[in-house]
Amino acid sequence: MFKRLGAEFLGTFWLVLGGCGSAVLAANFGGDGNPLGIGLVGVSLAFGLTVLTGAYAFGHMSGAHFNPAVSIGLWAGGRFGVRDLVPYIVAQVLGGIVAGFVLLQIASGTATFAIDPAAAGAFASNGFDALSPGGYSLAAAFLCEVVLTAFFLVVILGATSARAPGGFAPIAIGLALTLIHLISIPVTNTSVNPARSTGVALFAGSGAMSQLWLFWLAPILGGLLGGVTHKLLQKD
C-alpha cells in the first residue's frame, strides 16, 4: 500500500505541476499575441500529456487514478475497493498541494508574477460567475463538471476493460482529458479533479477557496454517475 500511495502522490504531483504549470507559466508567455504562449490548446494538451505519461509511469503500481473523482468512480464501477478510497484520496490531495507549492516557488522567481485573488483563473484556479474565465454561472459550471467527469470515467473504465485493446488505455485517457479541457477551460478553467483544484486554490486566495466546494461536489457526482453508467452498460 505504501508504494501504491507513493505512486498516487507522485502521479498527482506530476499532473498538477504539468497541467497547472503550463497555465501559469506558459499559456500567456510574452503577453497577448506572442506566438511563444501556448494558449488554451497548449494547456489542454499539457493536462492530457501529464495523464498519459503518468499512467505509463505509475499505472502498473497504483492504477494511476491521480484524482479523487476517478477513485470514487472506479469504486462505483466495481473496479476499486472501498477500503482504499480514503488513503488514495489523501495521497492525491497531498500530491496536488505539494505541486501547487512548488509551482508557486517557480512562478515567484520573476518580479512580474502576482496573484490577483479576484481574477478569473488566478494561479490556474477553478471558478464560476466572476471567477469563471468566460463568466459562466454556477449552474453552467456545475453541469459542465458533472457531465465531463462522468464521461471521463466512462472512457477510463472502457479503455481499461479486459475487452479493450491492451496497452492503449493511457493514450485514450490522455486524449479524453485533453478534449475535456478544450471544452471547459472557458467555463470553469477545468477541474474534473478535486485534488487538482485544491492544490492551486490554497495558494490562489480567498476567491478560489470560497468556490472550491463546487470542484469537489460536481466531479465526485460525475465520477459516481460515470462509474454506475459503465457498470450498467457492461454485458453479463
Q: What is the mean pLDDT of residues 32-45?
A: 89
Closest to 120 measured CA to CA, from 200, 210, 207: 207
Contact by Cβ (8 Å): 21, 103: yes
Closest to 121 measured CA to CA, from 13, 53, 55, 24: 24
| Domain layout of the chain by residue ranges | 2-111+122-233
Q: What is the mean pLDDT of residues 68-88?
A: 96
Whether the per-residue pLDDT at 236 is higher than 70: the answer is no
Q: Is 172 helix (H, G, I), strand (E, B) or coil?
A: helix
What does pTM read for this prediction? 0.94
The more confident residue out of 54 and 35 is 54
Instruction: Identify the pLDDT of residue 33.
Output: 76
Whether the per-residue pLDDT at 174 is higher than 60: the answer is yes
Instruction: Identify the pLDDT of residue 235.
Output: 64
Grid coordinates in use for 47?
A: 493536462
Fill in the DSSP letter of residue 212: T
For domain 2-111+122-233, give the fold: Glycerol uptake facilitator protein (1.20.1080)
Grid coordinates in use for 125?
A: 484556479
Q: What is the mean pLDDT of residues 194-208?
A: 97
Cβ-proximal residues to 139 (8 Å cutoff; 6+ apart), any chain: none
